Amino acid sequence: MNRDTQRITVAGPAGAIECAIDQPAGAPRGVVVLCHPHPQHGGTLDNKVVQTLARAFVQLGYRAVRFNFRGVGASAGAWDEGRGEVDDALAAIAALRDPALPLALGGFSFGGFVAAEVTRRLADAAPVERLVLVGPATSRFDLPAVPPDTVVVHGEADEVVPLAATLAWARPQVLPVIVLPGVGHFFHGQLTLLKNQVVQAWHR
């Protein structure tokens, strides 16, 4: 993300997991682990929406952790249809969370599915402080129900995951969705708006 971004690897179930860590200006108030979009469609930890989420959380005072799923960049392994990718996220969390600090999770598109599933799995043992989902892949993966304070942002003109699919997923949960008018799946030209919406929603 910038010259101060720290690149490391941690052990994962399929081998090494490549990670990028960005620190806030002062002592961190929490750690956030962010999940990137679909590995088979060009998704990496350097995706611009994921980097925007990292910037938002650094501004909020969090240590922001991005990582590559198996088979992406320097991460070992191969695509596992979402199953192994959830395990990758759990391994990155186990390696990089700070027991003394709250853990937040976030994800974009396919990464939103992974983040939601990981939040469900951690609910009893080590609950997540809060979750943010951007353009979650509700039309392509079976997203579980999420906590009521989850921040969901979706583009009105999303050409990959229709807004209607996310509204249909959110409706039974009575879960608010922040809709950005005229914005597509990749938030072209609207990354600052996205960052500001996440920061404002987190404060609420």
HEC secondary structure over 160-200: CCCHHHHHHHHHHHCCCCEEECCCCCCCCCCHHHHHHHHHH
Task: Tell whether 1 is covered by a domain.
Answer: no
- Degrees to nearest 5, angle at CA 93 with 92 and 97: 125
Token readout for 85 is 């990718």
Report which residue type is found at 103. L
According to the model, what pLDDT value does residue 125 have? 86
Task: Tell whether 104 is covered by a domain.
Answer: yes
Task: Tell whether 109 is covered by a domain.
Answer: yes
CA atoms within 13 A on the CB side of 28: 21
Task: Tell whether 33 is covered by a domain.
Answer: yes
Residue 111: CATH number of its domain: 3.40.50.1820
CA gap 9, 73 in Å, rounded = 11
Task: Tell whether 99 is covered by a domain.
Answer: yes
According to the model, what pLDDT value does residue 142 have? 96
Q: What pTM did the predictor assign?
A: 0.97
According to the model, what pLDDT value does residue 204 have? 81
* Domain extent for 63: 6-203
CB-based contact 103:93 (threshold 8 Å) = yes
According to the model, what pLDDT value does residue 115 have? 98
Mean pLDDT by 10 residues, the chain (204 residues): 90 98 97 98 98 98 98 98 98 97 98 98 94 98 97 98 98 98 98 98 90
Task: Tell whether 31 is covered by a domain.
Answer: yes
